Amino acid sequence: MHYSKKKMKFLRIPLKAIEKIGKTINQTITITLLIIVYFTSINLTSITGKTFRKKFLSQTKKGWTELRLKQEKKERYYQQF
């Protein structure tokens, strides 16, 4: 099919607008899905930690716990993961 230049020029404007709308919809869906996955993973980690009574970030009244560079039991090292 052969299109004249006038028809092609007429079609460019709506195609650009449709493309822009499509990109906006794509970004909105992507951001929404990432937010859902982010908060779901945080909640699952929190629930799992509470179930197994595991503390992922331990704090003291002064701030973060001090580094202990001496030899510790394996269970203490596993708490870091």
- Cα–Cα–Cα angle for 70, 51, 67, rounded to 5 degrees: 15
- Look at residue 42 in the predicted model and tell me its pLDDT: 86
Domain assignment of residue 17, yes or no? yes
- Look at residue 17 in the predicted model and tell me its pLDDT: 84
Give me the amino acid identity at 18.
I
Can you tell me the distance from the alpha carbon of 32 to that of 19, in angstroms, rounded to the nearest whole number? 20
- Look at residue 51 in the predicted model and tell me its pLDDT: 86
1 pLDDT higher than 60: no
Question: Structure pTM?
Answer: 0.48
**How many domains is the chain partitioned into structurally?**
1
Return the closest-CA partner of residue 76 out of 45, 51, 54. 54
Q: How confident is the model over 18-72, as pLDDT tens digits?
A: 889 999 999 999 999 999 999 998 888 888 888 887 776 666 556 566 666 666 6
Domain span holding position 17: 8-78
Can you tell me the distance from the alpha carbon of 57 to that of 18, in angstroms, rounded to the nearest whole number? 47
Give me the amino acid identity at 32.
T
Domain assignment of residue 3, yes or no? no
Structure-token pair, residue 46: 């929190």
